[in-house]
Amino acid sequence: MERLFAPWRIRYILAPKPKDCVFCAAPKESRDRENLLLYRGETCYIIMNRNPYNPGHVMVCPYRHIPSVEDLTDEEMMESMKLVNLSIKAIRKSMSPDGFNVGINIGKVAGAGIAAHLHIHIVPRWDGDTSFMPVLADVQIVPEALEETYDKIKSAIEEIQQTRD
């Protein structure tokens, strides 16, 4: 078996795990960059995934702690899709992907890492972004620091918002 050395992962492994829901906690704080919170809407917000499948992987979450789409109000449903749209526009503008995966995992058996709080994944994709690493080594390479990606997407969101006003 081949071993991959990733010493930075030990910080995550040894760090205390939050007792509270991270999707409830992040918008309550005023540390948006540290929490990777990109945009605050009225009923929902956009946040980057700390463990992305690809660079630019973001999520749209309602502020309310609900587990499924059937629990969304009409306002949350409308705004969540508007924020999915805004996310795609901002990622397209700042990172030029060739496509996107957009999805919702409802329940742990469906793959939801945080099943108790609904979130919509927006994952940018590039032609050829699946290499031998995920296939043979079950490893995904993310070539850019989260903070750099945050700055790019945040700037694009702000530009898009300015053109709307």
- Cβ density class 65-95: b for 16+ within 10 Å, e for less: ebeeeeebeeebeebbeebbebbbebbbebb
The predicted model gives 138-147 an average pLDDT of 67
Number of domains in the chain: 1
Mean pLDDT of 7-14: 64
Using left for φ > 0, alpha for ψ between -120 and 50, and beta otherwise, residue 38 falls in: alpha
H-type alpha helices, 36-115: 74-95
Query: What is the structure's pLDDT at 77?
Result: 98
Question: Looking at the annotation, which residues are catalytic?
Answer: 119
Q: Taking 90 as the threshold, does the pLDDT of residue 51 lie above it?
A: no
Please state, rounded to an integer, the average pLDDT across all residues of the chain: 87
**CATH number of the domain where residue 110 is located:** 3.30.428.10
Can you give the pLDDT at residue 145? 83
Reported pTM: 0.83
- The answer to whether position 16 is within a domain reads no
User: Helices 74-95 and 146-164 meet at what angle, rounded to 10?
Assistant: 110
Q: Which domain holds residue 63?
A: 23-164
pLDDT at residue 140 tops 60: no
Q: Is residue 66 part of a domain?
A: yes
Instruction: Determine the pLDDT at residue 113.
Output: 86
Residue type at 150 in one-letter notation: Y
- Asked whether residue 4 is domain-assigned, the answer is no
Phi and psi at 40, nearest 5°, equal -110, 120
- Indicate whether 41 belongs to any domain: yes
Q: Assess if residue 13 is contained within a domain.
A: no
**b/e for 133-155, b at 16 or more Cβ within 10 A?**
eeeeeeeeeeeeebeebbebbbe
pLDDT of residue 7: 65
> Within a domain: residue 108?
yes
On whether residue 9 sits in a domain, the answer given is no
Give 116's pLDDT tier (boundaries 50, 70, 90).
very high
